[in-house]
Amino acid sequence: MSTLPKIAWIGLGIMGSPMAENLLKAGYPVTGFTLEQDKLERLAAAGGTAAGSIAEAVKDADVIITMVPASPQVEAISYGENGILENARSGALIVDMSSITPQTSIDLAANAAEKGIRVIDAPVSGGEAGAIEAVLSIMVGGEQADFDDALPILEALGKTIVLCGPHGSGQTVKAANQLIVAVNIQACAEAVVFLEKSGVNLSAALDVLGGGLAGSTVLARKKDNFLNRDFKPGFRIDLHHKDMGIVTDAARNVGAALPVGAVVAQLVASLRAQGDGGLDHSALLRAVERLSGAQV
């Protein structure tokens, strides 16, 4: 009989499924709920328990982990008669690993506290590969004691785990992360088109660039995407579009100028408007190719 905390996992998408499976591998009992039956079957096949509703999943849970696309989904699963706050036990800890607005996290923590439920925001960076390999970077906002309680669980999911400040701080750092990643991908995409149009061996060029100051995790992770034009989603343009909206709005609220970030946000939005929202964010390459005269 496991003495580890009982975990409810809400949201079993590209990131959520492998993350929940890593907790199962670490010995945690996981009961999951998501809207897609095949994802529930995958969880059960990995040794988890599939629940028929949010209420069923969370009723006996010590820790409730949520991983859904955006603020509206977090609010939908958290509030209302069938939501987490009405069905979780007092003293439970919600670990919201979605990427949402800082204010949504602050509001959730305040509303949960009224019911004796604790909350930390713990968005992640690392994409699908980082989720599968359990090497995510996890940026956390909340109380130190709640962070300490969650840390053993988070250590089964990631390698860099940092309490960044009070509620909402994890989301603020995640917004900054998404700004850096988007600008980095855009720069890599422009370099790829420049190199190819110059007749340089692209694979060789990316290898040597990766070993110098231009090297980055983005370049290392996305090099094959660029070389093979493989844009199978690890992190969709649709989601990065949402995140760029979060960072530009949050920056405006605090009076921070993001001149390059604003341009890249528009480039992400334009790629989405051209029908590429379901592709990996490395598909920013397609937008640069179109601007450079290629038919893609």
Query: Of these residues, 39, 174, 223, 242, which one is catalytic?
Result: 174
Quick check: 219 pLDDT over 90? Answer: yes
Place of tokens 């509303």: 111
pLDDT digit string (tens) for 168-206?
Answer: 999 999 999 999 999 999 999 999 999 999 999 999 999
pTM, full prediction = 0.93
Domains annotated for the chain, with CATH where assigned, are 7-166 (3.40.50.720), 172-291 (1.10.1040.10)
Distance CA 262, CA 264 (A): 6
pLDDT digit string (tens) for 51-74?
Answer: 999 999 999 999 999 999 999 999
> What is the average pLDDT score of the chain?
97
- Is residue 39 part of the annotated active site? The answer reads no
In the chain, % of residues over pLDDT 70: 99
Burial-class residue 184 by CB neighbours within 10 Å (0-12, 13-18, 19+).
middle
Phi, psi (degrees; rounded to nearest 5) at 65 = -105, 130
- What pLDDT shows up at residue 2? 62
